[in-house]
């Protein structure tokens, strides 16, 4: 993979529970840099993007903190694009999941047929018309497909950032009605907890990776929301949903992603130290990063 560019995004404007802006610090404190370097990688810590105070931005009635999210994601898109230009592997630390808008915008400058694995309890495919809350962290996949407010879809250029057929959602168990319609309309590949329980994680990952290979993707991004795991392992998330992926299943998924040699970037989001117990959610994030980046037992 070469050098790894670590980029922190201390933003919590995409939702209503404060504290997830401290996620990058918590993940660093849990030993992310040391863990990755111990595997043999060189880590270039790019620090955190600057996030201004929310008081500097106007409120939008159906898109909470729109201007703040646009500002943060625009900066992130530039940082991610710069990392890829340097042939570094971008590893982004969130922040809430709205940051994926910036990540995917930055990657879109370098990949024409990017594959995305969305490891999450939620589909994150709402728009301002369908969102029950107005929280932008529930919208990044819709935005990346070119759906939503122009200020969001135009970040990093007005093009569609990902193709619906190049997307695989893993771990879904809380999907809104508008998202359900969009998933069916676009024919998006989803492995809900039903499929994970029924098939097992090995088969789910084998199928997902084969599906993406068949689409001849030229890069693969992992967007991992810590609420994809069951909250017994990751209590420090803003929108926990019981009945999630286990700790061991998640390590297996990361190991299989590593073995595939397809992965070109990753982000870990929604670690909220305010809601956490002894930094356990950040610790899990770092442990999963280890498996994703080549750590082995023997």
| Catalytic option among 12, 21, 96, 122 | 122
Q: List Cβ neighbours of 225 (8 Å cut-off, separation of 6 or more).
A: 97, 119, 120, 121, 122, 124, 237, 269, 270
Closest residue by Cα to residue 219 from 175, 257, 269? 257
| Catalytic option among 227, 230, 249, 295 | 227
| Catalytic option among 270, 276, 287, 295 | 270
| Catalytic option among 137, 149, 221, 251 | 137
Strand order across the beta sheet in which 114-119 lies: 43-48, 4-9, 89-94, 263-269, 219-225, 114-119, 167-172, 189-192
Which helix (H) or strand (E) segment is 77 a member of? helix 66-85
| Catalytic option among 97, 149, 221, 251 | 97
Q: How many residues does the chain have?
A: 298
Closest residue by Cα to residue 189 from 250, 141, 128, 230? 141
The helix, strand and coil proportions of the chain, stated in percent and rounded to the nearest 5, come to 45, 20, 40
C-alpha distances (whole Å) from 133 to each of 41, 61, 128, 173 are 40, 10, 9, 18
In terms of C-beta density within 10 A (0-12 exposed, 13-18 middle, 19 or more buried), how is residue 50 classed? exposed
Please say whether the beta carbons of 205 and 256 come within 8 A.
Answer: yes
Catalytic site residue 227?
A: yes
Catalytic site residue 270?
A: yes
Catalytic site residue 276?
A: no
Catalytic site residue 124?
A: yes
Catalytic site residue 218?
A: no
| Catalytic option among 21, 96, 176, 225 | 225
Residues classed as catalytic: 97, 120, 122, 124, 137, 225, 227, 270
């Amino acid at each position: 993979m070469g050098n790894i560019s670590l980029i922190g995004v201390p933003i919590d404007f995409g939702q209503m529970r404060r504290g997830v802006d401290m996620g990058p610090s918590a993940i660093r404190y849990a030993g992310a840099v040391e863990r990755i370097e111990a595997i043999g990688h060189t880590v270039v810590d790019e620090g955190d993007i600057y996030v201004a105070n929310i008081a500097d931005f106007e409120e939008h009635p159906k898109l909470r903190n729109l201007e703040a999210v646009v500002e943060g994601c625009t900066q992130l898109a530039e940082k991610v694009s710069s990392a890829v230009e340097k042939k570094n592997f971008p590893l982004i630390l969130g922040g809430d999941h709205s940051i994926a808008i910036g990540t995917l915008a930055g990657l879109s400058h370098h990949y024409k047929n990017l594959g995305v694995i969305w490891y999450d309890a939620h589909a994150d495919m709402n728009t301002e018309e369908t969102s029950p809350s107005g929280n932008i962290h529930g919208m990044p996949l819709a935005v990346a497909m070119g759906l939503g407010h122009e200020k969001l879809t135009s970040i990093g250029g007005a093009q569609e950032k990902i193709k619906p057929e190049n997307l695989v959602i893993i771990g879904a168990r809380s999907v809104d009605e508008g998202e359900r319609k969009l998933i069916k309309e676009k024919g998006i590949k989803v492995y809900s907890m039903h499929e994970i329980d029924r098939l097992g994680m090995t088969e789910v990952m084998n199928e997902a990776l084969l599906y993406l290979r068949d689409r001849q993707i030229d890069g693969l991004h992992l967007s991992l929301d810590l609420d994809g795991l069951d909250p017994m392992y990751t209590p420090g998330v803003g929108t926990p949903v019981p009945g999630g992926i286990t700790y061991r299943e998640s390590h297996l998924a990361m190991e299989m992603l590593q073995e595939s040699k397809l992965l070109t970037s990753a982000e870990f989001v929604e670690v909220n130290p305010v809601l956490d117990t002894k930094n356990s959610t950040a610790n899990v994030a770092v442990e999963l990063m280890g498996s994703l980046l080549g750590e082995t037992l023997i």
